[in-house]
Amino acid sequence: MSNTGPAPCSRSWSISEDSLRRYVHFASESCIQELLSASDSNRIGNVGNDGWKILTDLDNGVEISKRRSGSFHTFRSRWLLRSVSPQQFITVANAIDAAKQWEPDLVEARYIKDLEDNLSIIRLRFGENSKPLFRNREFIVYERRETMEDGTLVVAVASLPKEIAAGLHPKQNNAIRGLLLQSGWVVEKLEDDSCMVTYVVQLDPAGWLPKCFVNRLNTKLVMIIENLKKLAQGCPADGDK
């Protein structure tokens, strides 16, 4: 959905919980399918002209790719985690832990509403001491967690439309409402309690990401991968929630 111009700050939609659940379920299903498609592309036997351009291919098995559609940039990181089970990693594959890796000055991370057992609405707010990219930004996102028939674990995280977010949680003080178009993880089980992880994030440069920062995201993603890996390694080996 494209915007024709900036929406007034006071604009909000009142929406019933049932309508909210139906909307978020539909939006998150689309996000899950995009994540699965991104995790499956450019593999051996599945190489196609899908627009992904490899930016970084490290010796430790980490690959960073980018795809552009108009003004939107989608980044994908894939890496092999040896001796880390999917159940271990999935404990850190969530909106709050990821937000802390992007910017440690996360002053609020709160579950606003649980729509289903695996579907929640979360508020993320960064403080005045954050780096300029995140300073005083807040995000109202959904988080959906699913297990596919083959055992693949998927976590989808994205912003609610600003009008719906304003109806659920009006913007406060001098906070700036950010926009995360799409993000999430696909975690696939391998032999020997190892797993293959794909992390995808699509950002809105006009909304909160300066274009000059886009080319540095591959370095940031490598750091995020390493930090989440360390967190996962500290989780119990049988780490079912």
Residue 194 belongs to what domain range?
17-40+54-234
66 within domain boundaries: yes
Backbone angles phi, psi at 128, to 5 degrees: -70, -20
Q: pLDDT at position 8, please? A: 43
23 within domain boundaries: yes
Q: What's the whole-number mean pLDDT along residues 155-177? A: 86
78 within domain boundaries: yes
179 within domain boundaries: yes
Q: pLDDT at position 17, please? A: 86
Q: pLDDT at position 64, please? A: 86
Top-ranked range on mean pLDDT: pick from 90-104, 142-156, 173-187, 198-212: 142-156
User: 27 pLDDT exceeds 90?
Assistant: yes
223 within domain boundaries: yes
- How many domains is the chain built from? 1
94 within domain boundaries: yes
Give the CATH number for residue 106.
3.30.530.20
> How does pLDDT run across 119-135, given as a tens digit for each residue?
999 999 999 898 877 88
Question: Mind giving me the DSSP string for the chain?
Answer: ---SSPPPTT------HHHHHHHHHHHHHHHHHHHHHHHHTTBTTB------EEEEE-TTS-EEEEEEETTEEEEEEEEEETT--HHHHHTT-SHHHHHHHH-S-EEEEEEEEEEETTEEEEEEEE-TTS-TTTTTEEEEEEEEEEE-TTS-EEEEEEEPPHHHHHHHS---TT-EE--EEEEEEEEEE-STT-EEEEEEEEE-TTTT--HHHHTTHHHHHHHHHHHHHHHHHTS-TT---
3 within domain boundaries: no
225 within domain boundaries: yes
